[in-house]
Structure 1
């Protein structure tokens, strides 16, 4: 026997799920910023934190992208859809790459710069993430949007998910140019997000929050990360399982944060982070780099924990807060910058 759910209630539940993914995206971008700051003198505990973050944070980003794609999918011509993605993804990628390369060329002679560039980098950026390897994500996401619209039915998308699982583990032989290799590895997570919206038993994965599920997800996450740290990775497909558990844990945490919400709470600071997540992703390493260069020149011993920990907080805060300020008060104000950075 099936029960009838009023449309208003369905919309509220769906809205809460999207909000929980926004919160998850905010948590994830903060983890990205932390993960991209690993100085040479990092203590063992910080390296372990870095390893935990890298065990799931980019799969989580891809999962959220796949879920939002299919949840908000509209029937538009393929060319029109791709043009929107060019404006949203690739124009900001090239604009940011050109800007970052220019800044590096202007500053790397007088200060320490990670991953120095040359004038040739302005050419290389058209086929690889020359301004910073972290930009591979944009190329990979672009190829997702190029491919997935060809799979128009649920059954065909399940097949694509299965293909993604195979590509994740099999040596694909795809070139690293245009980040095709990264695309092949991440396809499974994008499609898992699609499946989570379309498949009934996976749909329950994003059902309203419960403390029981949060507790189970937390225990699984801690157990999995402990096994990872102790190199107990002989379990078949361990990396895939660990990433899936990490996704589950963060989403349950996100649902806990937005528990009881029936509409988007724009005032929540995590929603502000989520709204600027793309700009944070594009620019966080630049602002982190400036602060890192300053920290390196300060006359203090950053090897001791009570100096190292505050320096991490300052560097990470710069990578998150400054791009938010840039987004709100500069890039959003002018038509040209809105166009260049996908706003």
Structure 2
């Protein structure tokens, strides 16, 4: 009899924080100037890379789960968001599945990355294999920005750009090095060093936010200058530093917000509807004070996250996520 692996609450807590930052980032995006832009830049530097790292750690190429947990939700919500844009918001958009709608790029990318796992596993039998896999993923991520033809279509640019973080999570699990990583980043000296580096990154964002193009952080477009590949490498480095610092300080046991991370999928899938209505009706646009607006955006983000991950909401949407795979529902 195979014993069930103990749940790693660290990842639940990380995902809870990250999904909250996803919602917060989407709320403040229309107001990304001044201090709000600094906060936006800082969040977008690491929140998706770390989320993808977590996904890579737990990823497995299970055909049934790919169908029920990834492909079906993608098709369903690609259709629902099309209906929202076309019939409620009166926007003209083409109905198709080859270019993911806005936030659904992550779901589409995850399908591709998971399908690549049988290939990735061929390199997991030695240290040289792991190193080669990580280096190759970095080269793919950096090189992808050199091709104008790679963009939003099939999320090709983002699939390549964020691939290294998926590979890092995948390799960490296959090499069984999580405990080693936690031991290193938990050391007092390492935490102080990481904190200092994060402070430097934040200071740089404060000093140069007007010169930083947000497209550098999205990973969805090609470079416009040859030097931009250096910027992508710098963004990779900053994302790694902030992620390691967050891993070092996030609680590793079960806490009051752990359940949010355990049920981050409905937050991810449904918060986009609220964001579109907020954009349509200019929510928070009447608040002139940027600091108070950030504060309200934070409160609103927490309210949305706790609502969409709550048991009553999950119970309501479970039939939607379960159809048409009776008995094989997506865990909300």
Q: Does 2:275 correspond to 1:288?
A: yes
| TM-score normalised by structure 1 residue count | 0.75
Residues 1:230 and 1:195: Cα distance change in structure 2 (over 3 Å): farther
Deviation of 1:203 (Å):
5.4
Matches of 2:104 and 2:272, distance apart in 1: 10
Please show how residues 224-263 of structure 1 align to structure 2 within 5 Å. 224-231=201-208, 237-254=233-250, 257-258=251-252, 261=253
Which residue of 1 is the match for residue 84 of structure 2? Answer: 103
Q: Tell me, what secondary structure is at the counterpart of 1:269? A: coil
Deviation of 1:188 (Å):
0.7
Please show how residues 133-144 of structure 1 align to structure 2 within 5 Å. 133-144=102-113
In 2, are the aligned partners of 1:283 and 1:323 still within 8 Å (CA)? yes
Matches of 1:218 and 1:95, distance apart in 2: 42
Q: Tell me, what secondary structure is at the counterpart of 2:27? A: coil
In 1, are the aligned partners of 2:19 and 2:268 still within 8 Å (CA)? yes
Q: Does 2:138 correspond to 1:165?
A: yes
Q: Tell me, what secondary structure is at the counterpart of 1:194? A: helix
Residues 1:82 and 1:225: Cα distance change in structure 2 (over 3 Å): farther
Q: Which consecutive unaligned segments of at least 5 residues does structure 2 have? A: 213-226
Which residue of 2 is the match for residue 113 of structure 1? Answer: none
Which residue of 1 is the match for residue 265 of structure 2? Answer: 278
CA deviation profile, 1:102-127 (whole Å, cap 9, x unmatched): 22333214xxxxxx343x32xx2x10
Q: Does 2:169 correspond to 1:178?
A: no
Deviation of 1:178 (Å):
1.6
Pairing partner for 1:331 from 313, 317, 320? 317
Q: Tell me, what secondary structure is at the counterpart of 2:28? A: coil
Which residue of 2 is the match for residue 22 of structure 1? Answer: 12
Which residue of 2 is the match for residue 207 of structure 1? Answer: 183
CA deviation profile, 1:138-177 (whole Å, cap 9, x unmatched): 1111111111222334144543322101011114646432
Deviation of 1:316 (Å):
1.8
Residues 1:333 and 1:136: Cα distance change in structure 2 (over 3 Å): closer
Q: Which consecutive unaligned segments of at least 5 residues does structure 1 have? A: 1-10, 110-115
Please show how residues 45-194 of structure 1 align to structure 2 within 5 Å. 45-69=35-59, 81-109=62-90, 116-118=91-93, 120-121=94-95, 124=96, 126-130=97-101, 133-153=102-122, 154=124, 155=126, 156-171=129-144, 173=147, 175-176=150-151, 177-194=153-170
Q: Alpha carbon RMSD of aligned pairs, Å?
A: 3.3
In 1, are the aligned partners of 2:266 and 2:314 still within 8 Å (CA)? no
Q: Tell me, what secondary structure is at the counterpart of 2:77? A: helix
Matches of 2:78 and 2:329, distance apart in 1: 11
Which residue of 1 is the match for residue 219 of structure 2? Answer: none
Deviation of 1:307 (Å):
5.1
